[in-house]
Amino acid sequence: MGEMIGNIAHQWRQPLSLISTVSSGIKMQKEFGTLNDKDLDESVDAITKATKHLSKTIDDFQNFFKPNKTKEKFTTTDVFEKSLSLISAQFKAKSIDIEKNIDKIEIFGLENELIQVLINILNNARDELVKKEQKDKLIVIETKQTKNRVKIIITDNAGGVSTKIINKIFEPYFSTKKEQQGTGIGLYMSKEIITKHMKGNIKVENSTINIKGNSYKGARFTITLPTIND
């Protein structure tokens, strides 16, 4: 809940700042007698657009928290659009680029639970990238369909997972974070959702990414799920 409140705060910060700046500008122009109809219309349009964004954010989070245990059809493009709409502001704030190579593939399952898994993996990658001093910080999202399975692959360039712990990260209560930063149940619960609720599997391995001629090590999470036709 704390994590999601933080996401809401980041998503709202920019439009609220815009509304404040534009409204102050209108007031100042009026005081100096320089406010014309064109500037007023543009300012009102900007405020309206920002408020619509705030309203959409509320709707996104309300839908995310709805308890829905009924399996339904959804696509990989939809699930990532919804996932990234909830957390993208934090990545922009930390200068983390997200590269998307997402094919539109239908899945039959629990969309909100998959969103939780994706957000968990993406936020873990963000936390590791923030620790790095490197200029280029990247997460690559890919989807692939093989016969009656869809693969969702999320790769970062945050240095990878230590070989000492890579086989433990899906265990209950295992965490590399300090006690106040995490409970250790995130990846364990992610695996439970994928394997038990959606009849798929999830694995992690270390890999490399090439960016602008430089090679970076990183973690690669691969989620495999049944497609709509399974």
Average pLDDT over residues 39-55: 87
Return d(Cα 44, Cα 23) in angstroms, integer. 9
Residue 85 has a pLDDT of 85
Task: Name the pLDDT band for 184 (thresholds 50, 70, 90).
Answer: very low
Return d(Cα 15, Cα 53) in angstroms, integer. 7
Residue 197 has a pLDDT of 87
Return d(Cα 116, Cα 145) in angstroms, integer. 22
Average pLDDT over residues 175-193: 63
Task: Name the pLDDT band for 86 (thresholds 50, 70, 90).
Answer: confident
Average pLDDT, the chain: 85
- Taking alpha carbons only, the member of 165, 100, 107 closest to residue 139 is 100
pTM of the model: 0.72
The contacts of residue 47 (CB under 8 Å, 6+ apart) are 18, 19, 22, 23
Average pLDDT over residues 60-88: 81
Residue 145 has a pLDDT of 92
Average pLDDT over residues 198-208: 94
Residue 180 has a pLDDT of 38
